[in-house]
Structure 1
Amino acid sequence: MREMTPNHAGGGAAHFLSVYMQAPDITALTIMRHDLCAALWRQTGDTVTLQRYWEFERFTGLKHHRLPLRRAETARAFLDDLLAEEGLSLDDMAAVWGTPHLSTDAEFAKRQVPAGHTVHSMSHLFSAIGMDWRLLREGTILGLALDAGPDFQLDTAPPEAIYSGCVVDRGEITVFPIESPGPIWLLARGRFGREEGTLMALCSATTCSVEFDVRSLVDELPFRTQAEVFHGADTLIDRTLAAVTEALATPHGRERSRYDPRFDLVDNVQSAVMKLLEEASFRIVDRTIDRLTAEYDLDLSQTHLGICGGYALNCPNNSRLMDKYGFRGLLAPPCANDGGQALGLGLMALHDRAATAVGDFRLRHAFHGRQRLRTAEALAQFAPVVAEAGPFDVGQVVTDLITEPVAWVRGPAEIGPRALGHRSILGDPRRAETKDVINRMKGRQWWRPVAPIVLEEHAADWFETDRPSPFMLEVFRGRDRTRDHAPAVLHLDGTARVQTMNAADDETLHEVISAFHALTGVPILANTSLNDRGEPLVDSAAETLNFCVRKGLRVAYLGDVRVVLRPDAGRILDLDAPHPRRDELFTREAARWSALWSEWTAWNLSPASLFVYAWNPRLRDAVDPFSATGARTVEIASSAFLAGASDRERRFVAHLVRCFGPTADPIRSAASDDFVGGG
């Protein structure tokens, strides 16, 4: 890789890039990483800014983007293309972190990750504990990285601890192994064919529940190593599913289970199982916190909870922990899943450079994504169906919202999987049918909730909460007035996944909600993500208008432009798919998949041996498989591992080969919900 030098233009500013991509080598075929992303950092003196955050799925259209680039030169050209949006290139970076063969500084992770722990888990931890550097220096934080498992790409030895937690005491970070319930939800997704968010919503949607002593079962199962957690998660799912299925098999059992007639049998079964799995997850997290509180003599009323990893998107758990333990505050990034790995890698590397010791950084809002709407270009492309394009006006926005839901695309995109008011569908929360209309547009189940954006100063009057929730990572019960005057934003159980908004978060949207409040008496808007089923959040004006035409959404706000579509727009354009995105570079690589696998099998190496090779850091970093000696070493090592592996470990490798091996479709695999891998 070419030498990189810092750019000292603009008052001594230095730029850094943290990148979470597949290593551009043969191990890319294993697709170990997903939700790929990159973060651009700018440092001027002691001030550090997150200048831009790219989530690859937004511009490739491949949800949970996993598809790799096989060659380093292709990956560098891709990153240069991203940086060109900011007037920069890789040559302007003082350092690049996070991806083998692309990084200019690989030593930071060795210094910051204690022996026996993984870079992946430490990166998750830094994405939470590094959100506010003043707290990192002066406060006390209990950090928990609760995901499904690491990717091992930056590790140099097989880890002893798969899941990591930490205590931060005035800048001193102590790291220790913990347990994680993440695999329970990952395997439930594979078992039931529904994403974790859908299962989370279904869990609370029905009244159906079955009595089963899941706590005693959990107490018999450890959740520390990968073999333990996948065995434990499988056991939990098998036992709870059997208990629920048996209970609902008879009318008497259905009566005792509070079977919900609004839902079919499958939904009732899955909802009852997920209630039990949620209770199991709570038990795993609680016993970790109880142990650490005693071991480190923590006063939780003076301790912030830093929570990260995919399970940190579980809003009921986050609120439950805050209420049960009385933590002083919550530190959880909007991109708590692996889409936040670039954030955590960058914060860890900056900490390694001692920037956190004196620097000024706080993740105050989520709006760090791209803002390349290209509105004029989109209006020209969709001119046959545009009835009106005029200036933005707050009063008109309120009138439109009262009439029907609108598409709302403004400013830099929010980071993370949830729309927070920059790539959203907004609607009037006073009508229950608002949720129904939106769910039909998005092809979602009728019971799926939409979320409230509520003015922060009024949140406690409408929801049972006394704390802000800017990233929609907590769930609160609605008060009586909410049930009466904003029914569209409540789940079937009367709770809501709340986002609080103040003027500092987003001045324009705060002004719109305030105007809506002044007119209606309700300081809330209904909000959900602007995307079709299976599609990432929109990234451009053209993608927005395409969605509006296909779904019959009449009004779109694109920055400062109000666009009204013709009533017959759908008949004129007859669109049947989301707007094309920029996936050509990655799909070209996918077209070479068979040839890439042939490079491996040409050395008489089995597909299973590649997964063993890629997941064993010592073997991967010490042996070149593309030589007679190296190939023999890999085959002997993988054969020895598989011979000594448990049945579940062998099944795990077989699953990887089936999903990502030479006979798999890499594009389908890259977007598949059937994936088992990192958290």
Structure 2
Amino acid sequence: MQDGFYISAYCQIGQLEYLHRIALRHDQNISLWRKAGQTIELVQLWELERYSGQKHHTQAFYNTDHFREFLQERLAPLGLKPADIKGIWGTPGVTTDTTDYWRCYGDFSQHSLAHLFCAMMLDKEVFERGCIVGLAVDGGPDSLEDLYSRDKPFYAGAIVKSGDINVFPVPSTAPFWALLRQYFGLKEGSLMALASACRGPDLLPEQAPPPIFGVADFLEADAWFNGMIDEVNFLCDEEKSEDMDGRFSPLENKAAVMTRIIQACTEKQLENTVSSILKEHEVDPRSSYLAMAGGLALNCPANTHLMNTFGFKGFIAPPCVNDSGLSMGLGLMRFFEQNRDFAFKFASPYVGGRSGSSVEAVVASESFSPFVRALSTYSPSEFLEDIVKGPVVRFCEGSEVGPRALGNRSLLADPRTERSKDLLNSIKQREWWRPVAPVVLEEHIDAWFEDAFPSPYMLIAFAVKPEQQALVPAICHLDGTARAQTLSRAANPALYDEIQAFARETGVPMLCNTSLNDRGEPILNSLEAALDFALKKELSVVYVDGFRLELTNFKEYQSAPPPEGVNRSFVPRQPIDWAEAERAANPLELTREELVLKQLNPRLRALDHKDPEQLPRLRKLLRRVRAQFSKRADFQFVDLAQDFDAPNTPPREAKALSRAETLRLEVTDG
């Protein structure tokens, strides 16, 4: 492998999939690497949702030209062009390296192995010299490049001892969380917050949920879940009203009871899994690291439970722990297959890049100049005054990767008052009981949190010390915990200095930190979009790249047309003739349901839906597959991922998915 730049892409490409919104992957992303001798550097990681505006981006690229256009736009600010890329892997259609580099690790899906590598290799030196217990636990694998992934174990665990990897199947409770979200219509984060906020009866299941290792286990798991739902409904309907939490609706009370069941089962199953691994492989957790990846690794209480139960030496997980980091895992796996002795360390989460114009250009533009009262350089005293008055927008340099804001695309606020939490939840249109995370200076965590240790990516939930809770009510969840981001000066010097200035004045070494986005949209990635957000929400102050912007004329802005650079899209440069494109992609006019079922099944995907001679056989097979939906529980995940009620005619423009579509999609493939 030559020195130079490489691309690993967790995306999909296809005219049919683009036109009919057939999702084979979600949270799509692209990693740019630089190889220099034995050293590998992650230069950028682009999450497509930040550029398209589609939460959990699911839409395919229209064609290879569309992919290359997107890549060219991302490379240009770095002084690179597509011709500078030595190789691409991970996405059929643009892959230049056809090596099945994941097969050498056993009969496990590419998807799960990429999750494992994304976590276990954050620091290659630890990987080579230490001992790591790794878990890749999410909803399930995709089958875009690894055609037989659905026939393999869905989830993977691993033991790494001095660079030698032993991979084995492990179970996951992630499908239960998907069913929970489907049943109650709330995302996992909201459900977990609700479960700990809502007081009410607890129900202990008589039988533990069946472990889910693969597709064959879904039927029993689905029956267990439905049985528990029946018990919860009976309990909540029969209980006296005073036993329920009057602050919440009957449905929310039921959701809280059921979520507490799933959370307890999740923690117990993970504990049993780790305990078995430690025993079988004779591992002392006190001298080993726990590495977590996959969507279930976003479960902060479960991560905390494992760390507190076993006393691991350290916790390893990337900020992009869900599918948004799979391109990174694919890249590390490929480099490792090529040369085990390469050097790599995940140096910073702020490798997400940015779009839009510079501060000077935006402030001087006709769209925004009437709404900027003042532009000045950062001042610690002024920052303190601003934070005390109310939430401020912070938009700086490269964006953090992953689903959680880590300071560069954040709303910051004073943690010393409950009002801050209420304001932030109102600004973001969130439920009143949703907690707000703190970003806290790392050297002060022991004084504020129980059993604390570094948590730079907001993946651990610490208990706030009882004597400190009254001092920081905005960051305390109703159960007394906080999903903390610990911050060192090396990680983000500017943000560190801002919090330190606040700490010198107040004695509180932390701020409220929540992501810069509205409900149902991805984190904002251009200064234009950040200012648009601030003006619409009537937030007076924006900190950007060492500057302070003071905004004004909010009412006038509300009635003005959206400025250029605010709206995000995902369309190729060449205009699409929609009617002609649809005729070319679907000449035999299969229904959207037929197209979805065909493309999601690797065996059916190989059949030519444009060939009239194959059509009768294809339709017969599709009818057989569709008939199984009432008999096989695993098919419901496919059903939930795709909107079968959507019109067969493709949309005339590429717009963001609805919130309902986005939530449905998250049920499958991680």
TM-score, normalised to structure 2, is 0.91
Q: Are 1:475 and 2:461 matched, yes or no? A: yes
Letter in 2 for 1:248: C
* Gap change, CA 1:217 and 1:660, over 3 Å in 2: farther
Counterpart in 2 of 1:10? none
Three-state SS of the structure 1 residue aligned to 2:75 is helix
* Gap change, CA 1:605 and 1:406, over 3 Å in 2: closer
Q: Deviation of residue 516 (structure 1)?
A: 1.0
* Gap change, CA 1:244 and 1:640, over 3 Å in 2: closer
Q: Is the 8 A contact 2:295 2:321 kept in 1?
A: yes
Letter in 1 for 2:115: H
CA–CA distance in structure 2, aligned partners of residues 475 and 509 of structure 1: 21
Q: Is the 8 A contact 1:210 1:247 kept in 2?
A: no
Q: Are 1:38 and 2:38 matched, yes or no? A: no
CA–CA distance in structure 2, aligned partners of residues 321 and 661 of structure 1: 46
* Gap change, CA 1:157 and 1:439, over 3 Å in 2: closer
1:364 to 347, 358, 375: 347
Q: Is the 8 A contact 2:215 2:634 kept in 1?
A: no
Counterpart in 1 of 2:124? 133
Deviation by residue 1:224-252 (Cα, 9 ceiling, x = unmatched): 112423x3553344233322222222453
Q: Are 1:327 and 2:316 matched, yes or no? A: no
Counterpart in 2 of 1:274? 259
Q: Are 1:102 and 2:94 matched, yes or no? A: yes
* Gap change, CA 1:392 and 1:40, over 3 Å in 2: same
Q: Name stretches of at least 5 consecutive residues in structure 2 with no aligned partner.
A: none
Q: Deviation of residue 608 (structure 1)?
A: 5.0
CA–CA distance in structure 2, aligned partners of residues 474 and 649 of structure 1: 31
Matches within 5 A, 1:503-522: 503-522=489-508
Q: Deviation of residue 65 (structure 1)?
A: 1.0
Letter in 1 for 2:126: L
Q: Are 1:170 and 2:162 matched, yes or no? A: yes
RMSD: 2.7
Q: Are 1:225 and 2:211 matched, yes or no? A: no
Deviation by residue 1:349-387 (Cα, 9 ceiling, x = unmatched): 111221xx3333211331111144522232122111211
Matches within 5 A, 1:600-639: 602-603=587-588, 607=592, 609-617=594-602, 620=605, 623-628=607-612, 631=615, 634-635=618-619, 637-638=621-622
CA–CA distance in structure 2, aligned partners of residues 488 and 562 of structure 1: 25
Three-state SS of the structure 2 residue aligned to 1:65 is coil
CA–CA distance in structure 1, aligned partners of residues 236 and 146 of structure 2: 47
TM-score, normalised to structure 1, is 0.90
* Gap change, CA 1:654 and 1:128, over 3 Å in 2: closer
* Gap change, CA 1:281 and 1:299, over 3 Å in 2: same
Kindly, what percent of the aligned residue pairs are identical?
33
Deviation by residue 1:564-613 (Cα, 9 ceiling, x = unmatched): 112x4234443698973331416999984x87665565447565554454
CA–CA distance in structure 2, aligned partners of residues 296 and 187 of structure 1: 33
Q: Which stretch shows the higher mean deviation, 60-69 or 641-650?
A: 641-650
Q: Are 1:301 and 2:286 matched, yes or no? A: yes
1:248 to 224, 236, 239: 236
Q: Are 1:436 and 2:427 matched, yes or no? A: no
Q: Deviation of residue 521 (structure 1)?
A: 0.7
Q: Deviation of residue 326 (structure 1)?
A: 1.7
Q: Name stretches of at least 5 consecutive residues in structure 1 with no aligned partner.
A: 7-12
Q: Deviation of residue 514 (structure 1)?
A: 1.2
Three-state SS of the structure 1 residue aligned to 2:274 is helix
* Gap change, CA 1:653 and 1:494, over 3 Å in 2: closer
Counterpart in 2 of 1:459? 445
Letter in 1 for 2:272: R
Q: Is the 8 A contact 1:199 1:271 kept in 2?
A: yes
**How many pairs were matched up?**
656
Q: Which stretch shows the higher mean deviation, 65-74 or 312-321?
A: 65-74
Q: Is the 8 A contact 2:173 2:211 kept in 1?
A: no
Q: Is the 8 A contact 2:90 2:327 kept in 1?
A: yes
Counterpart in 1 of 2:325? 340
CA–CA distance in structure 2, aligned partners of residues 582 and 393 of structure 1: 32
Q: Deviation of residue 341 (structure 1)?
A: 1.0
* Gap change, CA 1:596 and 1:316, over 3 Å in 2: farther
Q: Is the 8 A contact 2:318 2:457 kept in 1?
A: yes
Q: Are 1:422 and 2:405 matched, yes or no? A: no
Q: Which stretch shows the higher mean deviation, 466-475 or 183-192?
A: 183-192
Q: Are 1:48 and 2:40 matched, yes or no? A: yes
* Gap change, CA 1:330 and 1:603, over 3 Å in 2: same
Counterpart in 2 of 1:9? none
* Gap change, CA 1:325 and 1:588, over 3 Å in 2: farther
Counterpart in 2 of 1:121? 112
Deviation by residue 1:294-344 (Cα, 9 ceiling, x = unmatched): 332222222211111111111001000111122221111101111111111
Deviation by residue 1:394-442 (Cα, 9 ceiling, x = unmatched): 2221221122211111121000011111111111111111111111111
Q: Is the 8 A contact 2:321 2:402 kept in 1?
A: yes
Q: Is the 8 A contact 1:660 1:669 kept in 2?
A: no
Q: Is the 8 A contact 1:16 1:95 kept in 2?
A: yes
Q: Deviation of residue 193 (structure 1)?
A: 1.5
Q: Is the 8 A contact 2:69 2:572 kept in 1?
A: no
Counterpart in 2 of 1:375? 359
